[in-house]
Amino acid sequence: MAMVTGIGVATPPQVTQEALWEGYFRAHTGGGGLARRIFASAGVRTRHTVVDPATEDISGWSTARRMARFAEQAPPLATAALVDALAAAGRSPADLGMLAVVSCTGYGTPGVDVALADGLGLAADTQRLLIGHMGCYAAIPGLGAVSDFATARGLPAALVCVELTSLHVQPPDGDPAQVVAHALFSDAAAAVVVEPDAPGWELLDIAAHTDTDSRDLMTWRVTDHGFRMGLSARVPDVLARAARPVVEKMLARNGAEVDDVAGWAVHPGGPKILDTVRDELGLDEAALAPSRAVLAEHGNCSSATVVLVLREIRARPGDLVVAMAFGPGLTLYTALLRRTG
């Protein structure tokens, strides 16, 4: 079986939620009571950004200019996360047979995958996979891809998620969905190294559920001014219908039940999402503590976030952990892991 043997994280400079509000978003959103309440109730204390809007207002930038900044700043961040993960696994770049890169916040070809291959000196025959625009859940299918490679080829593989959401501050308008996005999203890179038959996190299973009837409730559209989030208040209700059946089905085919799970790495799309998962699965509030801690310290870093949460999970050999993330589609992805060694 494929095993996660190393996790690495890299973040740009930190800024407080209050400083972002007072220094930029109060004026940007018109300073109304609704916007202030959204920022205050987001569950975020600090975030990390490659662009501080208080000193560099990019809300009027073209998409081309934003992508140029992504090409400049994403590769060093992704490199730092992968180096961290390789060190945790006791591996070198030369060991990798495959590199997969996930991002929904920046594009270019040659892209981050090629920059990583060049900067770290990956072998010319290292296979590369670029996973783009899937959104916040993309780390889990990415993990599935590198795990399948490691199992089939008997070689280590790596997954790197790099998201620079701060490059997509939108021009001022009165859309509450934009205020929610501006209150939650943050920048980070996270990486995992996967190997066959080594101590770590054994990947037992992956499950997915897409409700195409709800596809318009969460969107991530390319516009002339970067990428624009569309977010309906109905998203938690749709996820509530799917969360328990999907998790129970995945657990059942592995001979387990919800009560057998020792840890929950739930993507903190926002406080209400976490409340919904807690209530639908009948979890104690303590089960969501790692997710709420990541939300408070990092905000929502899109695909990188669930890896940040997994890094917070403390488990003993034999413990089961469920990772869960959500995104456009409307899509729910879950993974079942077991701690070994």
pLDDT, tens digit, 9 for 90 and up, residues 251-295? 999 999 999 999 999 999 999 999 999 999 999 999 999 999 999
Please state the domain count of the chain.
Answer: 2
Considering the domain architecture, whether residues 316 and 227 belong to the same structural domain is answered as yes
Among the listed residues 104, 136, 161, 301, the single catalytic one is 136
Predicted pLDDT of residue 1 = 82
27-36 LR contacts (CB < 8 Å, sep 24+): 28/53, 28/59, 28/169, 28/172, 28/182, 29/172, 29/179, 29/182, 30/172, 30/174, 34/176, 34/179, 35/179
Considering the domain architecture, whether residues 228 and 281 belong to the same structural domain is answered as yes
Lowest mean pLDDT, pick from 61-65, 109-113, 187-191, 234-238: 234-238
Amino acid at 30: G
CATH code for position 154: 3.40.47.10
Considering the domain architecture, whether residues 146 and 37 belong to the same structural domain is answered as yes
Among 26, 132, 128, which Cα is nearest to 70's?
A: 132
Domain that holds residue 43: 2-196
Predicted pLDDT of residue 174 = 79
* Residue position matching structure tokens 């739930």: 266
Q: What is the mean pLDDT of residues 133-153?
A: 97
Q: What Rg, from alpha-carbon coordinates, does the chain have?
A: 19
Active site residue 136: yes
Predicted pLDDT of residue 258 = 97
Q: What is the mean pLDDT of residues 48-56?
A: 95
- Calculate what percentage of the chain has a pLDDT beyond 90: 94
Question: Does 27 score more than 80 pLDDT?
Answer: yes
Question: Does 99 score more than 90 pLDDT?
Answer: yes
177, 196, 215 - which closes a domain: 196
Question: Does 145 score more than 80 pLDDT?
Answer: yes
164, 196, 228 - which closes a domain: 196
pLDDT confidence bin for 241, thresholds 50/70/90 = confident
